[in-house]
Amino acid sequence: MSLHTRARFLLVVSVVFGLYSLLWGLAPFPLVNFPARLILDSADWPVDNLYAELDKNTMLLSAIGAGLLGAVSVFLGKIVVPALKEGNKPIINATILAMVVWYVIDSVGSIAAGVSSNVVFNSIYLALVLLPLVGIKSDEV
C-alpha cells in the first residue's frame, strides 16, 4: 500500500472518528441523545438498556470521552495524515505508541469495570488506525 493510499485510509478513519465523537457527545442532551445511548449500550453488549435514562456521571464521562475522541480525530486528520504522506517516521511511531497506550489503559479498565465487550470495539478502532501505520517499508519513505 502506498503512502498516499495509507494517508487516504487514515483520513477516512479520522472522519469516521469525528462523526462518532459528535454522536457520542450528544449524551448530556436527553432530547437528542439516542445515538449516544446506542453507542454506550453497544459497548456493554448486549444492547439491552437502550431506553434507560443516562445518569449524570455517564453524561459527564461521555462528554469527556467524546471530546477526547474528537481531538484524536483532528490529530489523526491534521497531523498524522500529512506526516504519513511524507513518511515521517517519528510521528508515525509516536502515533502507534499513543494508540497502544490508549488501547491498554482503556481495555484493562473496561475489563476491570466488568465491560470486557468494549475490548472488542477497542480492538477494531486500534486496527483501523494501525493498519495504515505499520509495515511501511524504508523504500516507501
Instruction: Say how many Å lie between the first and final Cα of the chain, rounded.
Output: 12
Tens digit of pLDDT for each residue in 37-65? 999 999 888 888 888 899 999 999 999 99
In the DSSP assignment, the letter for residue 80 is I
SS3 content of the chain, % helix, strand, coil (to 5): 75, 0, 25
Total domains present in the chain: 1
Tens digit of pLDDT for each residue in 67-89? 999 999 999 999 999 999 999 99
Report the sign of the C-alpha dihedral through residues 2, 71, 39, 102, in that order.
Answer: positive
What domain range is 70 assigned to?
3-140
